Structure 1
Amino acid sequence: MKYTLGLMALLFFSHANAQTNWDVANIHEALKKDATIVIRNEEQFLDIKGINAAKYDYKITATIFNKAGDDFAAMEEVYDKFSTIYNIKAVLYDATGKKIKEYKSSDIKDQSLISGFSIFEDNRLKSLKFVSNSYPYTIEYSFSQDFKGLLYFPQWRDLKDFGVSVEKSSYCIQKDKNYQMKYLSSTGLKVDSTSIGGKIRYKWESSQVPALAKEPMAIGIDNLSSWVKASPNLFEYDGSTGNFDNWNNFGQWIYKLNEGGNQLPEAFKIKIRDLTQAARTPEEKMRILYQYLQQNTRYVSVQLGIGGFRPVLAEKVATVNYGDCKGLSNFMKAMLNEVGINSHLVMIGNGKPSLNAQYSSIGQANHMILAVPIGKDTTFLECTSPYYPMGFIGYGNSNRNVLLVTEAGGKLVKTPAYNASQNYQVSKTKIKFNNENDIDVLINTSYGNSQFEDNLRKTVLEPSEQKKRALENSNIPIETFGYYKCDQKDKTKPELVEELSFKSKPLLSKGGDKYFLLLNQMNRREAVPIKIADRKTFFSVPYAYEDKDEIVFELPQGYQIDFIPKDILIESDFGIYTATFEKKDGLLIYSRTQKMNDKIYPPEKYSEYVDFYKKIVQADKQKAVITKTL
């Protein structure tokens, strides 16, 4: 599903208007501030020849100020059997704009896009890496690309990333008056629309845009950059035709791509029926077949068929035991169908925003899962993970509009949302002081849903690596290591249980005749987010979560607790924090809860967020006062 026409938008170069003096001294000082890279000039021109053909012309000139920008100093453009890239030109300039090197066609690498985890039959890459021994330097390259078939158009954005400023950037689309397409653009961006003969030309442009410094917790720069997303409606591609004018028609095209693709070998059908013959309910059958999928197949990216959008045949997956997200989801669908359970393929933007209900286009989805409606409930299956319990799809797939692919066409539905209480971490810690220097610690921690996902890799590490990480990551200083365990005890639940035992280094600090004990030994916030004056970007935590921590201190004979802090409550729009302190039966019990919301907050709320965390950091420093009575 992840298929791109290029890492950057393709640009049209007009020789008549080309800037030729790339001296860094010509860059306005405002564009140098916070900039690693300055886009000097960028032009993109898409000439749509018809329903199945187009030509791109592209040119970019950019100045790299320091080593942090070197990754940008590269051309990497993807093509396949439905496109050709030609007329590549590339030049390297020094700081004064003097030409250092003009690259030859022999300098351009042309290679297959094959990696250790992917199989690509058609996709290839033309690439060039610019190298300079001094900074700043300027790169420039251009090329043309012809397409036979148009599923989607290149997108355009003036600000490529944080730390990138723009002198000039533009995007132009030319089409026949009768050609059907659509576009979305950023708020306030004007389009220059002109008619030339039987053609319509749309143009968007931007100039003198300063760079943005990277800001903590930023969710992107869409609210600050100028951008355009464009898509065809009617299209023809690799002998297939369709209409992307709405999600229903989009789903019809995807459904037709897979017609006849979920047949299984006869011997395998018998195997499936044997596996599920003792199951009493559809849910039991689904669980058995999902476990079979996880235990007998592996994920491999496969870009086959129509632009990489047609799933590998279920019959093939049954034979080779691997597939990509499309192939594995379709294979699971075929197995369920064999035992009388209906299901639907689902197109989803993993880690992306929800599909836009008013704007259907292929670039919004990059992944496929499966939806299984049984009775009034629908179970969503992530078919690429050997570790997820049935029904858990990960926070990158949760709480977003997705496209249900049915025989009647596409239908937008919403995936399950995981709330803070479901994305939990619950720890219970016992700290027993045999004496000041002999301290036993036992920690039991459970991780649920999104926090299960974050910690899942621990379960597949070698024991030596598990021990190493436990030693490195323990908040309580370890004197002598005991043991460590982390496993998913119930495979039907997205929950990990972790256990750690060790002897601690001394925890009491002395002042005069008093001892001081830091009470939050486990999940302590020690740093306040950096203050930012005049923040520009929206921000959010990755997901809502709830951490609950309890620490029970057992002091040795001859020690008494003289003071414990008062209970703490901190409430805000961002979440809620509580800490309680209790003396009970000779024990000191500390309990802490931090529950965070996953709302998206405007820039002006950031100072409130910093203040909220200041209070948490202070609350996590609370100490008890202890005296020695013997």
Structure 2
Amino acid sequence: MRLSIFLFPFLISCTIITNAQEVYDVANIPADLMQKSTVVVRNEEQNLVIKSQNSAIMSYKTAITILSKNGEGNAVMSEYYDKFSSVYNLKAVMYDAKGIKIRTYKTSDFKDESITSDGTMYDDNRIKKLEFLNATYPYTIEYSYEKSYNGYISFPSWTPIGSYDCALEKSVYTLQIPKTITFKYLKSQDLKTDSAVINDKVTYKWSCQHIKSFEYEPMSTGLKAVTPWVMVSPNDFEYDNSKGNVENWKNLGSWIYQLSNTVQPLPETTKANVQRLIASTRTDREKIAVLYQYLQSNTRYVSVQLGVGGFRPITADKVAAVNYGDCKALSNYMKALLSEAGIQSNLVILGSGIPSLNTKYASFGQANHMILCVPAAKDTTWLECTSQYTPMGYIGNDNSERTVLLVTEAGGKLVNTPVYKPEDNYQNRITTVVLAPDRSADVHIKTSYSNSQYEDQLGMMLMEPTEQRKRIMKSLGIPNMEISSASFMQPDKSIPKIEEDIVLKSSQMVNQGGDKLFVTLNLLNRRESVPAKVENRKTSFSVPYGFKDTDVITYTLPQGYKVEFIPQDISVESEFGRYTAQVTLKDNTIVYTRNQTMNSKKYAPEKYKDLVDFYKKVYMADKQKAVLAKIN
């Protein structure tokens, strides 16, 4: 009898331990979720309770098994907050491969840090953070926290699959909201929405389970089209003593307009400068040009994120006094300069480097940037006010071809930014190569880059000469080369175009076999690889931007040699683009001309094989050689 009493609590203890082990034992993960995965989300619970128009509480809990070192990026807990929110009740535990607890973290283990980055002057955003460290794989981390909101402009979204190579066992997002508060949501295709009404509250629930990981796919436009997600937004909000409605884009634009439509006085000295600068101009476009150059020469970009200050620009007089501001402040300042010159303009909200605004779903979180638009009947001008180098009217590849929000007195208006066609994003290169009998060569390269390709080369123009030469040596790939001179310049500050001029010598330009020399005709702009094949591709794909490259290379034959063989002309054409390569003989030279045009649009996954085939043909064509033989 006494033995039985002694064993009873021991058996209970064993049962508890066994149950704990069963929960996070890696052996219990379904085999198909382990395949090609670096992490597995065992469980995720995100619950949001809306208390009132300006109050909400979110509770979050997750458990993630880290399978290998490649999954270490997921071994971290982080949650942002500001003066209108707080993160508390943080808990975290680590388990070994068997699901046995090996560490419980204390409150003091969590770091509380500012997230002010370089280029940010004012920022009230902070982060609660915990990095899990363990040298033995696999292991499981479990953490949870609560977050309260004292005012909000949007609700947390739900993205249970956040990266490639991540599998998921189970995730659920629950939203509880009073019936008196209206909201809207946008979700992934085929995701089921469950809802229930209990007294004066409505509960919405989205969930998913057993999702295998997705391997990284080259040129992918992202996982959003193939994974579950939900975006949620209130129609009415209160935030930082400001009320607004985002039921549609017109209303959201009205709120932004009210924030920025305060009196924007300019100092008298700045007004005088404006009048002096435009005194000799004859057209509005000339006025815009000189004032934009004035902005670039006298201000610099600094980020400001303080409550509504994340949406309300610093006033123009303050920017004039300190000569810096964030994208909102500088755009607003440029607006004030133009107004002094009698030119009307509008602030523009957009997502720089992210997809266009969803025309049917108005919400914060879809935009991260502000520029300026000067409307005109025939020639609207767009101004990127944070750059000290880009020309007037060029807003960059990340801002082009997007649906954006024009902020007007009548509210927000959806419009589209300019589209840069392949022929706008050109690279034109003329190269001369003088070959010598000892296989050395003198090379002169002159290249023009425009628009998006100008943007790619802008960093080269701004580098110190020593660093420039290092980059040139690495990028050109010409064997045994020595640079004699190199320059990068923008001849006309009003045009997005860079001129590159490089003179170099190679001590071993061509390969030799017996009495023959083998010349790889495409010296500088070769496709060096083909995108990897992907069986049963899941995601759509695209090229970063459409472009047109033209290369003309003239080879002067070395003394004592003649042309024995030149390849035939090649033409490759598909929906992705067009490629041609031609070789002609002229006097004592070989002239190689290569043209490649690529289209930029979103392609369905099943077309990827055709793209690989297209690039394979280009790859092979770029390896063509001419054969030179000694003259007897």
Same fold (TM over 0.5): yes
Amino acid at match of 1:626: L
Contact preservation (8 Å) 1:305, 1:311: no
Following TM superposition, by how much is the alpha carbon of 1:428 offset from its aligned partner in structure 2, in angstroms? 0.6
Following TM superposition, by how much is the alpha carbon of 1:261 offset from its aligned partner in structure 2, in angstroms? 5.2
Counterpart for residue 310 of structure 1: 312
The 1-side partners of 2:50 and 2:448 are apart by 56
TM-score scaled by structure 1? 0.95
Task: Verify: 1:289 aligned to 2:291, yes or no.
Answer: yes
Counterpart for residue 554 of structure 2: 552
Following TM superposition, by how much is the alpha carbon of 1:267 offset from its aligned partner in structure 2, in angstroms? 2.7
Following TM superposition, by how much is the alpha carbon of 1:43 offset from its aligned partner in structure 2, in angstroms? 0.7
Mapping of 1:76-91 within 5 angstroms? 76-91=78-93
Mapping of 1:92-491 within 5 angstroms? 92-260=94-262, 262-306=264-308, 308-491=310-493
Q: Name which of structure 1's ranges 408-417 and 483-492 shifts more when overlaid on structure 2.
A: 483-492
Counterpart for residue 14 of structure 2: none
The 2-side partners of 1:96 and 1:589 are apart by 68
Amino acid at match of 2:35: K
The 2-side partners of 1:438 and 1:71 are apart by 48
The 2-side partners of 1:616 and 1:411 are apart by 43
Superposition CA RMSD, Å: 1.6
Counterpart for residue 498 of structure 2: 496
Task: Verify: 1:603 aligned to 2:586, yes or no.
Answer: no
Contact preservation (8 Å) 2:21, 2:99: no
Q: Name which of structure 1's ranges 270-279 and 83-92 shifts more when overlaid on structure 2.
A: 270-279
Q: Cα distance 1:307–1:184, how it changes in 2: closer, same or farther (>3 A)? A: farther
The 1-side partners of 2:123 and 2:565 are apart by 70
Contact preservation (8 Å) 1:400, 1:415: yes
Amino acid at match of 1:242: G
Q: Name which of structure 1's ranges 219-228 and 552-561 shifts more when overlaid on structure 2.
A: 552-561
Contact preservation (8 Å) 2:21, 2:98: no
Q: Cα distance 1:133–1:476, how it changes in 2: closer, same or farther (>3 A)? A: closer
Of 53, 62, 77 in structure 1, the residue corresponding to residue 64 of structure 2 is 62
Q: Deviations over 1:290-329 (max 9, x none)?
A: 1111111111111135161111111111111111111111
Contact preservation (8 Å) 2:21, 2:100: no
SS in 1 for 2:135: coil
Following TM superposition, by how much is the alpha carbon of 1:53 offset from its aligned partner in structure 2, in angstroms? 1.1
Following TM superposition, by how much is the alpha carbon of 1:121 offset from its aligned partner in structure 2, in angstroms? 4.1
Unaligned runs of 5+ in 1: 1-16
Following TM superposition, by how much is the alpha carbon of 1:472 offset from its aligned partner in structure 2, in angstroms? 1.8
Amino acid at match of 2:503: S
SS in 2 for 1:326: helix
Contact preservation (8 Å) 1:475, 1:523: no
Of 605, 626, 629 in structure 2, the residue corresponding to residue 627 of structure 1 is 629
Q: Name which of structure 1's ranges 247-256 and 143-152 shifts more when overlaid on structure 2.
A: 143-152
Following TM superposition, by how much is the alpha carbon of 1:611 offset from its aligned partner in structure 2, in angstroms? 1.0
Of 11, 30, 33 in structure 2, the residue corresponding to residue 31 of structure 1 is 33
The 1-side partners of 2:25 and 2:179 are apart by 42
Counterpart for residue 13 of structure 1: none
The 2-side partners of 1:584 and 1:537 are apart by 48
Following TM superposition, by how much is the alpha carbon of 1:215 offset from its aligned partner in structure 2, in angstroms? 1.1
Q: Deviations over 1:353-395 (max 9, x none)?
A: 1111111001110000000123432111001111100000001
The 2-side partners of 1:620 and 1:100 are apart by 57
Q: Deviations over 1:147-204 (max 9, x none)?
A: 1112011111221110111000111111112211001111100101111111111100
The 2-side partners of 1:99 and 1:129 are apart by 17
The 2-side partners of 1:410 and 1:109 are apart by 40
Following TM superposition, by how much is the alpha carbon of 1:335 offset from its aligned partner in structure 2, in angstroms? 0.8
Amino acid at match of 1:596: M
Contact preservation (8 Å) 1:430, 1:551: yes
The 2-side partners of 1:480 and 1:367 are apart by 43
SS in 2 for 1:577: strand
The 2-side partners of 1:550 and 1:34 are apart by 45
Contact preservation (8 Å) 2:439, 2:511: no
Unaligned runs of 5+ in 2: 1-18
Q: Deviations over 1:380-438 (max 9, x none)?
A: 10011111000000010000100000011000000001011111111110001243334
The 1-side partners of 2:600 and 2:482 are apart by 39
The 2-side partners of 1:277 and 1:332 are apart by 18
Counterpart for residue 3 of structure 2: none
The 2-side partners of 1:223 and 1:415 are apart by 24
Following TM superposition, by how much is the alpha carbon of 1:606 offset from its aligned partner in structure 2, in angstroms? 1.1
Q: Cα distance 1:337–1:20, how it changes in 2: closer, same or farther (>3 A)? A: farther
The 1-side partners of 2:610 and 2:141 are apart by 42
Contact preservation (8 Å) 1:262, 1:333: no
Contact preservation (8 Å) 1:47, 1:55: yes
Q: Name which of structure 1's ranges 537-546 and 20-29 shifts more when overlaid on structure 2.
A: 20-29
Contact preservation (8 Å) 1:436, 1:508: no
Q: Cα distance 1:306–1:442, how it changes in 2: closer, same or farther (>3 A)? A: same
SS in 2 for 1:501: strand
Counterpart for residue 537 of structure 1: 539
Counterpart for residue 5 of structure 1: none
Identity %: 52
SS in 1 for 2:313: coil
The 2-side partners of 1:549 and 1:116 are apart by 39
The 2-side partners of 1:124 and 1:582 are apart by 64
Contact preservation (8 Å) 1:217, 1:539: yes
The 2-side partners of 1:19 and 1:274 are apart by 78
The 1-side partners of 2:601 and 2:155 are apart by 32
SS in 1 for 2:73: helix
Task: Verify: 1:521 aligned to 2:523, yes or no.
Answer: yes
Contact preservation (8 Å) 2:186, 2:232: yes
Contact preservation (8 Å) 1:429, 1:442: yes
SS in 1 for 2:23: coil
Amino acid at match of 1:416: P
Counterpart for residue 7 of structure 1: none
Contact preservation (8 Å) 1:371, 1:379: yes
SS in 2 for 1:610: helix
Contact preservation (8 Å) 1:282, 1:374: no
Task: Verify: 1:508 aligned to 2:522, yes or no.
Answer: no
Following TM superposition, by how much is the alpha carbon of 1:275 offset from its aligned partner in structure 2, in angstroms? 2.4
The 1-side partners of 2:378 and 2:502 are apart by 42
Q: Cα distance 1:128–1:437, how it changes in 2: closer, same or farther (>3 A)? A: same
Following TM superposition, by how much is the alpha carbon of 1:18 offset from its aligned partner in structure 2, in angstroms? 10
TM-score scaled by structure 2? 0.95
Amino acid at match of 1:340: G
The 2-side partners of 1:543 and 1:45 are apart by 40
Contact preservation (8 Å) 2:440, 2:509: no
Amino acid at match of 1:527: S
Contact preservation (8 Å) 2:372, 2:383: yes
Q: Cα distance 1:20–1:326, how it changes in 2: closer, same or farther (>3 A)? A: farther
Contact preservation (8 Å) 2:57, 2:147: yes
The 2-side partners of 1:145 and 1:382 are apart by 36
Following TM superposition, by how much is the alpha carbon of 1:122 offset from its aligned partner in structure 2, in angstroms? 2.4
Contact preservation (8 Å) 2:437, 2:560: no
The 1-side partners of 2:138 and 2:309 are apart by 39
SS in 1 for 2:381: strand
Amino acid at match of 1:185: K
Counterpart for residue 588 of structure 1: 590
